[in-house]
Structure 1
Amino acid sequence: MNESPGSNELPLFLASTAHDMKNSVSVLAGTLEKLLVGASPETEAAYPQMAHMLYQTKRLNDNLIQLLALYKQVGKPDYPFDLQPLQVGDFVEQVIASVRVLLDSRGITLETECDPNLVWHFDEDLVIGVVGHAINNAVNYTHDKIRFAIGVVDECLEIRVEDNGRGYPQAMLDAGVSAMSGIHSGVNFLTNSTGLGLYFSSEVAKMHKHRQRSGAIRLENGGAYGGGCFVLRLP
């Protein structure tokens, strides 16, 4: 059966629309960050509402970026997967810079643990997207502290985002398993979760391969703080 011209144009139109939306949301998030710099609940009555708006805009921006990346991966076989040797210390600094204003505005402490001189091969932009999503998700679960730790475990680079909250519910843990099995859990209207973040993270992990080993993600409870833990492993 031949595809009609419209069947090819619609995905391109949707991708273009998502890209325009991402740009607009990025501008909004940048404006909120500038307004929050130097402000505090004592000097700005709307500070809590602005901080919440920043959190929501970052979540929306993350989802749009993930959607576009997955579209490129599925729709274009020449997806620019950029595997490069990267210094972990520089990577950590980039992640911290991208989330600092949001965490400060929510009164959340970010503790980091890594060997800054460690070098590993991975796609920096995609992994920053995965870690950024994990940290934004941890903001929703934590009481006041998030741990961002990177180390080598079983010859894999293990990246952990942990919080000191109540831990992931069973449905979230099950969704992590489903994502690694290639199952997109879809929209949960009770939690307003699309499941897109976990699916994107699992696809990014699987794209990283070395000596017949592939990357993986998992969700668990415990870790250093006893709360939820997002774990990304790259061979």
Structure 2
Amino acid sequence: MSMKADDNQLPFADVIGASVNDMRNSLGQVLYKLTGISEELDTQESKLGLQVVEYEVTRMQNVMNQLHGLYLIETDSLTIQMQEVYVFELIDDILAGMNGLLANKKVEVELRGEDICWYLDPYLMTNVLNIAILNAVRYTNDKICITLVHSEKGLSISIDDNGQGYPDVVLERFNNVKAGMSIEEVSSQNIGWLFCEKIASLHKNQGNAGETILDNESVISGGRLQVLLP
């Protein structure tokens, strides 16, 4: 017997939104368990294997967070909860959750600048910085530098890596996403950039909106993703 669509059925977008939320919660539990398991492994081969799994689970958790956030933005149901936050404290919490991944990949993270208290949504910015740092982990050779700068224009959070830099085609895709152009090649990377730009732009002050910038102007000779908040 076939089923016909009717007005009582759940909207497909709502079903996807609820499913994504459920999946991201499950991935969070898996990542928590993996962190505990990594401490019990005693062979290098096992640790390297778990490193790959942990990286992929973290990446998928970020994708789920992005999809859920974009769904909430699309349905005009995203709640922004602005509050004063010490940004380095926020970043320290994020890095603490990546300790195993950073150690296994032998990536050093340096924080530059003074801790700055800023008015932002800590939950949403945690997701944005998670994406930015994980992106740097993917492209770096062995070092990431996170810099805070306060100027008349607002707060700049720069995540730099010492990799080979972004190819021109990647920079072009980023700028197309930022400009609101149609995305010809849908990927988790493009979705992540779109999410970061959307969340940054929701942070407004005196008529100015936040934004993101991707370039190869890294202070440690690689790629850089900047988050600018007014």
TM-score strictly above 0.5: yes
Secondary structure in structure 1 of the residue aligned to 2:97: helix
Shift in CA distance, 7/166, structure 1 to aligned 2, threshold 3 Å: farther
Matches within 5 A, 1:1-235: 5=7, 8-37=10-39, 39=41, 43-75=43-75, 77-116=76-115, 118-183=116-181, 185=183, 187=185, 193-235=188-230
Shift in CA distance, 82/224, structure 1 to aligned 2, threshold 3 Å: same
- Kindly indicate whether the alpha-carbon contact (under 8 Å) linking 1:114 and 1:151 is maintained by their aligned counterparts in 2: yes
Secondary structure in structure 2 of the residue aligned to 1:182: coil
Report Cα offsets for 1:73-122 as digits up to 9, x if no partner. Answer: 221x3421011111223222222212222111111111111312x21111
Rounded Cα–Cα distance in structure 2 between residues aligned with 1:194 and 1:227: 18
Rounded Cα–Cα distance in structure 2 between residues aligned with 1:209 and 1:48: 43
In structure 1, runs of 5+ residues without a counterpart are none
Q: Percent identity?
A: 24
Instruction: State the shift of 1:16 in Å.
Output: 1.6
Rounded Cα–Cα distance in structure 2 between residues aligned with 1:31 and 1:21: 15
Shift in CA distance, 17/95, structure 1 to aligned 2, threshold 3 Å: same
- Kindly indicate whether the alpha-carbon contact (under 8 Å) linking 1:51 and 1:105 is maintained by their aligned counterparts in 2: yes
Report Cα offsets for 1:208-235 as digits up to 9, x if no partner. Answer: 1111111010101032111010000000
Supply the RMSD in Å over aligned alpha carbons: 2.0
Rounded Cα–Cα distance in structure 2 between residues aligned with 1:95 and 1:223: 21
Rounded Cα–Cα distance in structure 2 between residues aligned with 1:86 and 1:35: 32
Secondary structure in structure 2 of the residue aligned to 1:206: helix
TM-score by length of 2: 0.90
Secondary structure in structure 2 of the residue aligned to 1:162: strand
Instruction: State the shift of 1:26 in Å.
Output: 1.4
Report Cα offsets for 1:129-174 as digits up to 9, x if no partner. Answer: 1111111111111111111111113431101111000001112211
Alignment length (residue pairs): 226
- Kindly indicate whether the alpha-carbon contact (under 8 Å) linking 1:186 and 1:195 is maintained by their aligned counterparts in 2: no
Shift in CA distance, 63/184, structure 1 to aligned 2, threshold 3 Å: farther
Which runs of 4 or more aligned residues in structure 1 lie more than 6 Å from their structure 2 counterparts after TM superposition? Answer: none
Rounded Cα–Cα distance in structure 2 between residues aligned with 1:68 and 1:57: 16
Rounded Cα–Cα distance in structure 2 between residues aligned with 1:194 and 1:164: 19
